[in-house]
A and B are shown apart, each in its own frame.
Chain A
Amino acid sequence: MDFFLYSKVGQMLLAVLALLAVVVVLLGGARLADRFAGRSRNFWAAVAFAGPAAVLLGVGLVYPAIRTTIMSFMDRRSENPVGLENYRWIFTDPASLQGFINTFWWVILVPLVSTTVGLIYAILVDNSRFEKVAKSLLFMPMAISFVGAGIIWKFVYEYRGAAQEQIGLLNAILVQLGFEPLRFLQDSPWNTFFLIVVMIWIQAGFAMVLLSAAIKAIPGDIVEAARLDGVNPWQMFWRITVPSVRPTLVVVLTTIIIATLKIFDIPRTMTGARFDTQVLANLMYDQSFTFGNNGIGSALAVMIFVLVVPVVVFNVRQMIRNREVRGA
């Protein structure tokens, strides 16, 4: 028994066993409901099957989201209401405004550049001999954590004084070409853009995989017809490829926008969000957990939510429109 209670692996096994036990009880309950209860049997079966999910969603998302919204109108210890004071802070404090401006650049650049790179690369390697390997190379960063990617790139950006031997790849190249080494991560405002590069590096593979699948799904007869009409590659790209993959483009862009709005790990790992590289999600973490200000932290969480909503609404409306066009 001590093994299960007092060792890490034991606790893990205990959790898995507990999960099994819960499933057995629930499925057994569903079975009983199926046999005995008359009219309400479907109801009880639904309770057994969907119950755990409902509890998790209620405790983990619904209640906390409501509570956070309420807390955003209260003071730092969530004791007294303060009206809109927290929101006034996030729209006037210089550090917070810096966070908004940086997040704006993140959200503009990451989706655009990574989708562009992904699309171009997908087209270039399509049906080439090395397609599979080539795709894996671009896609691999998707498997790496933001923290891992942050360290990988921090090493690429590493700076040493001009007198020393450079061990960071970029500065070594700069010095080789006769330039002064740059402090990529310390010098504002460009440091934010060097952090953005890391996110582009991670997301391009995602864009590439989805767009590549969409490109392969373009009907062959459309391509043949266009070719018989003698279109040049440029026209083929803009008039056939891009319109055909438009729904996927929208999906890729919106998905990356949403991920980027919540970016947190990269600034935290690479600069600690210092040197003017603050972003909203990291500011939220700092305010809530470093400075213990639940009011401002909650208000920032609500801000992130408010920014995500229009993107999702747009995405869903596009989906409905695409469905209508297809007559489904």
Chain B
Amino acid sequence: MSVAPANPAITEPGRSRSLPDPMRATRRSAASSAKARLTSRIGSVVAIVIAILWTVPTVGLFISSIRPEGEIRTSGWWTFFTSPSFTLENYQEVLFGRASSGALSNFFLNSVVITVPGTLIPLVFATMAAYAFSVLEWRGRDTIFVVVFALQIVPLQMSLIPLLRIFSGTAAADAFPYLAVWVAHAAFAMPLATFLLHNFMSEIPRELLEAARVDGAGHTSVFLKVMLPLLVPAIAAFAIFQFLWVWNDLLVGLTFTGGNNAVQPLTARLAEMAGSRGQDWHLLTAGAFVSIIVPLIVFLSLQKYFVRGLLAGSVKG
């Protein structure tokens, strides 16, 4: 995925909030009555078929990852249901085994080290920038905001080579091998993050801020004490969004770690294994599951915020 334009039609202030929580069934709608009259049996069958198609591949991967290597090689994962056998050896080998078996624990750590600053840096700076664009008044503000918005058009591919060249060979890049990845993720997230948080801030009633200003509070304290607490849901939504994006990214991780195994993220290692060890399904299935489990937990536990973020700003493509 890469930076795609947010979605103007639904990022528009005022509209995003009026959308109901899509994960909650509330009242009868056009769709429900259409459905009620449709021969609902066919409808149910179609829905169930789609649900199965969307679930079975992941289930197959997970079941395979806990079967012994010999059985994965010789029989399909569905035989697990008739003759179950269970092992954690695949995980042991792919995480902590020899380097040629993946040694994914190192790459897992790399992913964490890349993702935490890769999420925090753009989040903090975009929140501050959004304040400058929505509350502060200065000449040229609206023009520059349009430019920031327009920058969402620029595909990641446009900036890979020059940005890489800025870092490569410098002392800073040698001392801090993750620096280039952090900066790249922060820069690429900035247009969408600033735009979204600006929209949320624009919805905060001006009177609240004015009241604080009249009481003698400077912008710093208005920002910290009035704005931030009100903005927590929006910030949480974007944080989850950016977290998933950085954790799941391959292109930036591959490019800005310069093929350096010591700092590459999980995704880069897995993509490489899918090529070089394409038949070692006991390693690939367990490895894939290791990389999936973190975003899956985040997703399942914070689904509400994630969906809210999607509805507010579409997705980074």
Contact = CB atoms under 8 A, between A and B. Distances in A.
A268 B58 contact: no
B34 interface: yes
A156 B57 contact: yes
A50 B28 CA distance: 45
A137 interface: yes
B31 A298 contact: no
B85 to A, nearest CB: 15
Q: Chain A at the B interface: mostly helix, strand, loop or mixed?
A: helix
Contact of B270 (A141, A148, A165, A226): A148
A250 B8 CA distance: 11
A177 interface: no
A237 interface: yes
Interface in B161-207: 161-163, 166, 175-176, 178, 182-184, 186-188, 190-191, 194
Nearest to A213: B22
Contact of A172 (B24, B76, B141, B248): B76
Interface string B214-257: 00001111011000000000000000000010011111001100
A240 B110 CA distance: 50
Please classify the interface of chain B as helix (H, G, I), strand (E, B), loop, or mixed, using the class held by over half of its residues: helix
Interface string B246-283: 01111100110000000000010011001100100100
A206 B8 CA distance: 16
Given A27-B220, A255-B317, A71 B187 contact: no
| Central interface residue in B33, B43, B139, B310, by most chain A CB within 10 Å | B33
Given A121-B47, A258-B4, A258-B317, A8 B244 contact: no
Nearest to B36: A233
B159 A60 contact: yes
Nearest to B112: A12
B159 A65 contact: yes
Contacts of A1: none
A88 interface: no
Contacts of B248: 144-148
Contacts of A143: 244, 292, 295-296, 298-300, 306
B161 A297 contact: yes
A150 interface: yes
B61 A147 contact: no
Interface in B107-123: 109-110, 112-113, 116-117, 120-122
A213 B20 contact: yes
Interface stretch (A79-87, A92-100, A188-196, A316-324): A316-324
A117 interface: yes
A268 B50 contact: no
Contacts, number: 433
B19 to A, nearest CB: 5
Interface residues of A, number: 145
A258 B152 CA distance: 11
B133 interface: yes
A4 B248 CA distance: 26
B30 A50 contact: no
A8 B163 contact: no
A236 B187 contact: no
B209 interface: no
B281 A167 contact: yes
B125 to A, nearest CB: 4
Interface of A: 5, 8-9, 11-12, 15-16, 19, 23, 26-28, 30-31, 34-35, 42-43, 45-46, 48-50, 52-54, 56-57, 59-65, 67-69, 71, 117, 120-128, 131-132, 134-148, 150-156, 158, 165-169, 172, 201, 204-206, 209-210, 212-218, 220, 222-223, 226-227, 232-233, 236-237, 240-241, 244, 247-248, 250-251, 254-256, 258-262, 264-265, 268-270, 272, 281, 284-285, 288-289, 294, 297-298, 300-302, 304-305, 308-309, 312, 315-316, 318-319, 322-323
Given A46-B141, A294-B161, 15 more contacts: A23-B128, A43-B139, A49-B132, A56-B190, A57-B191, A61-B159, A61-B188, A127-B35, A153-B57, A172-B78, A209-B307, A223-B29, A227-B33, A261-B155, A261-B317
Across the A-B interface, give the 3 residue pairs with the lowest CB-CB distance, nearest first: A60-B187, A259-B317, A64-B159
